[in-house]
Amino acid sequence: MACMVVVGTQWGDEGKGKVVDLLGERVDGIVRFQGGNNAGHTLVVGGEKFILHLIPSGVLHPGKTCFIGNGVVVDPAVLIAEMDRLAGRGVAVGPDRLRLSERAHLIMPWHQALDLAREKAKGGAAIGTTGRGIGPCYEDKAARVGIRAADLLEPELLRSKIAACLAEKNFWLTNYYQEPALDAEMIYELHLGFGRRLAAHIGDVAAELNRLLEAGGSLLFEGAQGTHLDIDHGTYPYVTSSNPLAGSACNGAGVGVTRLGKVLGLVKAYTTRVGGGPFVTELTDEAGRYLQERGAEFGSTTGRPRRCGWLDMVVVRQAVRLNGITGLCLTKLDVLTGLDTVRLCVGYRLPTGEELDAVPASLARLAQCQAVYQEMPGWSEDISGARTWEELPPACRAYLERLRALAGAPLALVSVGPDREQTILLDRSLAG
């Protein structure tokens, strides 16, 4: 298969990094196509942990080329720091291995300042943004005043665009939010340095990807966040500022829709989300604390504890439909080990008795929804060493069979631990 897309089916944090790292060995290039450094992918290889925010997870495989597409918003300081950390651990990140689209928009200091100022002003109504400047950067992109990676290579254009942007942004920061103004010259000099450092990495990524495909190569597109954080199809306004759906791989990287093949949807064996927003299956009892602690559910980007709940199959089923998912990749199954019973949310019920099989757009209706659960026996056997379907306990297999039926998509792989090798591969076509 020339192209595979990996997306999250929930609210992010499903373990996409591990799966992209696992499958990255089987392709020639790995591509990020949306989001920014508000995403964090944690990988464990040979017991060693790596946390990546912008660079695709496949960078840990020697000889693979990683691409940051035009749909990603890039904080150059974060990107350079990530490159340096990897280099310090012996991972090559030269221009031959890491390519940055000249059309990718840059997160500038005023984007972060506005992000934090707005969230502070909202007080109790804050939506839980990471404060990384992602939303304001996408706003400027849509308003056609953004600064792109290509601008780092044209100093006079860069200077004029910074001055023009700050004339407006400083007005808002100082007059509306009562925050300090930013210095245009200091920002200009800082970004000249970023340009010198990144110049060899910047290029026409869309053309490079298509040349690779035309030569018979293969690509893996790595989504960030999850389906229900999609700005169009998620639990708006508690969403991200981009489209994490599989279809966004086309416009976010610059490849034609006919290039896409398999679409793999990541499903955590339970549900989590960070920040505000509705969460029908959220647990605030001992079971929720068990999932949070045993699953180490703390954000790799923010460190914030994640809200935990039973697996919501309404959410997963909707993601299967929206993305055209051809295979499910289940992660963190081992976290459920030790629970006497496990629950699957099979539908929503309103106080009127009406039952829903999809997530409603109205947050008022969603807030009224109660989960309709199917309860199943748990298992106590250690599954971290299982490498085949048959090695899983019967109760565990029954849980997976029911999950597969409710989702309406086959299981492609099952992760039974954080390490790359702790995986049961069920779709043999993924073996390379």
Which residues are known catalytic residues?
13, 41
Give which of 238, 342, 227, 337 is closest to 283, Cα–Cα. Answer: 342
- What is the spatial distance between Cα 240 and Cα 227, in angstroms, rounded to a whole number? 10
The CA radius of gyration of the chain, in Å to the nearest whole number, is: 22
CB 32 within 8 A of CB 67: yes
| Contact partners, residue 402, CB within 8 Å, separation at least 6 | 344, 374, 376
Angle between helices 155-171 and 184-198 (to 10 degrees): 140
Pairing between strand 411-415 and 355-356? unpaired
Pairing between strand 423-425 and 307-309? unpaired
CB 182 within 8 A of CB 109: yes
Give which of 168, 324, 307, 196 is closest to 248, Cα–Cα. Answer: 324
Beta-ladder partners of 266:
8, 329
CB 149 within 8 A of CB 198: yes
CB atoms within 10 A of CB 236: 14
- What is the spatial distance between Cα 201 and Cα 199, in angstroms, rounded to a whole number? 5
Beta-ladder partners of 263:
5
Residue 16's identity, in one-letter code, is K
CB 195 within 8 A of CB 152: yes
- What is the spatial distance between Cα 139 and Cα 285, in angstroms, rounded to a whole number? 39
CB 274 within 8 A of CB 128: yes
Residue 299 phi/psi, 5-degree rounding, is -60, 135
CB 253 within 8 A of CB 70: yes
Which helix (H) or strand (E) segment holds residue 42: the answer is: strand 41-45
Classify residue 199 by burial, with Cβ atoms within 10 Å: 0-12, 13-18, 19+: middle
| Contact partners, residue 320, CB within 8 Å, separation at least 6 | 9, 265, 328, 407, 408, 409
